[in-house]
Amino acid sequence: MLSKQPDQQLHDELIKRTNKLGLTAYPFLPKEGTPYPFMVVSYVQVNPYPTKTRLLGSVSAQVDVWGTIEDRRLVSDWIGRLMEEYSMIRHLDDREWSLDLSSPTQIIKDDSTDEMLYHGILDLTFKFR
């Protein structure tokens, strides 16, 4: 059986670790009415550096944490917990991983729904080999 591609390895691990921490995680925006807070993996992109023997490179991923207007502190706390948890990703299947600890985060107000929300954004960069 072939091992997963780097983007799928990371995608699955982000969701698994987030759920393990107690924050519900989805691979896409859930249906309307889903309780807040929750996490979504918005995208994953491979930036390859091919060699003669194996694929090396980095993976960029955006993770979004959504909370109600009353949950700004909760969104901030989740961002911190997720960054700490994700920084411990070291081995997935046959690859070694490391999080670029300078990966930025932000929290913005979002009025794209009927209620005002807080939207935490983690722009992650992982190196793999």
Residue 10 one-letter amino acid:
L
Whether 2 has a pLDDT exceeding 70, the answer reads no
Cis peptide before 27 (omega within 30 of 0): no
The average confidence (pLDDT) of the chain is 95
pLDDT band at 14 (very low <50, low <70, confident <90, very high): very high
Q: Summarize the confidence of residues 56-61 as an average pLDDT.
A: 96
Q: How confident is the model at residue 40 (pLDDT cuts 50, 70, 90)?
A: very high
Task: Report residue 1's pLDDT band, with 50, 70 and 90 as the boundaries.
Answer: low
Which one of 3.30.2000.10, 3.40.50.2300, 3.40.640.10, 3.40.449.10 gives the CATH number of domain 6-27+35-43+55-128?
Answer: 3.30.2000.10
What's the token pair of residue 107? 């929290």
pTM of the model: 0.93
Please answer whether residues 22 and 34 qualify as being in contact, where contact means their C-beta atoms are separated by less than 8 angstroms.
no
Mean pLDDT of 19-23: 98
